[in-house]
Amino acid sequence: MPQLQFSSVAKSYGDTQVLEPFDASVDSGEFLVLLGPSGCGKSTLLRMIAGLTEITSGELLFDGETVNEWDVRKRDIAFVFQSYALYPQMTVRQNIAFPLVMDRMKPWQHLPILGSIIRSRLMHRPEIAGEVDRIAEQLSLVPYLDRRPGALSGGQRQRVALARSLVRDPSLYLLDEPLSNLDAKLRTQMRVDITALHQKVGKTFVYVTHDQIEAMTMATRIIVMDHGRIQQIGTPDEVYDNPANTFVATFVGSPAMNLISPDIVAAHPTAFEPGIAASGAIVGVRPEHLMLADEGAPGLPVTVEVVERTGAEAIIACQPQGQEGDESRILVRASHTQRRVMGEACVLQLDPAHVSLFDAATGVRVPQTSTVG
C-alpha cells in the first residue's frame, strides 16, 4: 500500500498546460477522489499515476521513491476503466482469471496457437481457479461465471471489471469514472459496493469522477480540480463545510452553496450580522442552513418562486425582493412541514455560524475571524 506523494507535478502538451504544478500527499489505504468537471485534468493525472502518461515536470513518489520512469508493470496497479474493457469472447471466469494467467506466462509462450493452449491450461490450475472463485463470491458473481459479458447487465459487467482488478491483489487501485455508464439506481448500489471493497481490502484507491455525490459518499480525501488547477485538497467535510473558493462552493453540494452578492447584502444590511454586512464580501450559505420566516420577521425579504417537494423535504427557490434573475436566486432546503407557496412573501434568516465569506474580486475564502463579530 504505497503512500503517494506529488512534488510539483505538472503536465503540458507543447505550450498547452493541462495540469499546473501542485504538491500533495496521500496516506496508505486512503480513498482519494479526483473531482472536477470534464476537461479539468483529472483523468490525465490518473494516467500519470498509472504510468500511461508521461509526467512533464515534478516527481511522483511511491513510499518516498520516485517512480516517474517506472513502467506500468513495476508500479503494481490495477486500472478500472470507464468502458469496462472486458474481452467479449471470454466468459466471466476467463475475464477474471486473465491477469493471473498473464502473470504466469513466459514471453515465448505468447505465440498465437501455443499461447491459447497454455492460457486454457493455466486457467484450470487450482490456485487460479480458487482465486477466481474467492473474488467472484466477494462480488456476488458466482451465478454468472460461465456467461459472457454480452449477457450481463451494466452493473454486472462493472463488477466483473472490478473483480479482474482485485484478483491480482495489487498495491494501488485506479478507477476512471467507472460508474458513469450506469443508471442512477445501479450507481447508488455500486457506490456502496466499491466503498465496502475499499474497507475490506485496505488498499489505496484513486478514483476519478465529475459526480460530487460520488466524491462525498466514497472519499476519505478529495482533490477538487478545475482547468488544470488544484482548487482544494481535504476531507469531504472540509471541502463541504469550508470551501476554499467560490468554484468549490458551487461545485460541491446538491443543491450548491448559495452565493449572496455584496450588492444584496448592502441593500439589506440589517438582515446580516454587522461584521458580515460591513465586509463587502460574497456571502456563502448552504441551503440547509437557511430558514424561512413569516413576513415582518427580521431577515432578508424574499418572494417564493418555486417549491420542489422531494418527500421528506422541499427545495424552495426564493428571490430577494427588488432582485430578478438566476444569479440572485437563493435556495432553501426545508422540511416538509414548512409549507410555502409560489408567490408568497416571507423572510429569509441565516445562521452566522454557518456562513462562508469570499473575496468579491478573487472568489477566495476570507477568514471570518477578521470580519464577523
Measured CA to CA, the distance from residue 368 to residue 27 in angstroms comes to 30
Alpha helices in 82-183 (DSSP H): 92-104, 112-123, 126-138, 154-166
Measured CA to CA, the distance from residue 321 to residue 264 in angstroms comes to 10
Q: In what order do the strands lie in the sheet with 204-209?
A: 77-80, 172-176, 204-209, 31-35, 221-226, 229-234
Please give the share of the chain, as a percent, with pLDDT higher than 70: 94
Confidence band for 127, pLDDT divided at 50, 70 and 90: confident
Q: pLDDT tens digit string along 335-354? A: 877 778 999 999 999 988 99
Report the chain's mean pLDDT, rounded to a whole number.
Answer: 89
Measured CA to CA, the distance from residue 1 to residue 76 in angstroms comes to 10
Measured CA to CA, the distance from residue 340 to residue 338 in angstroms comes to 6
- What's the whole-model pTM score? 0.87
Q: Look at the alpha carbons of 133, 160, 169, 204 in this order and tell me if their dihedral is positive or negative.
A: negative
Kindly report the backbone phi and psi dihedral angles of residue 179, in degrees, each rounded to the nearest multiple of 5, phi listed first: -105, 5
Q: pLDDT tens digit string along 186-208? A: 888 889 888 988 998 889 999 99
Determine which helix (DSSP H) or strand (DSSP E) holds 277, and give its type and residue range: helix 274-277
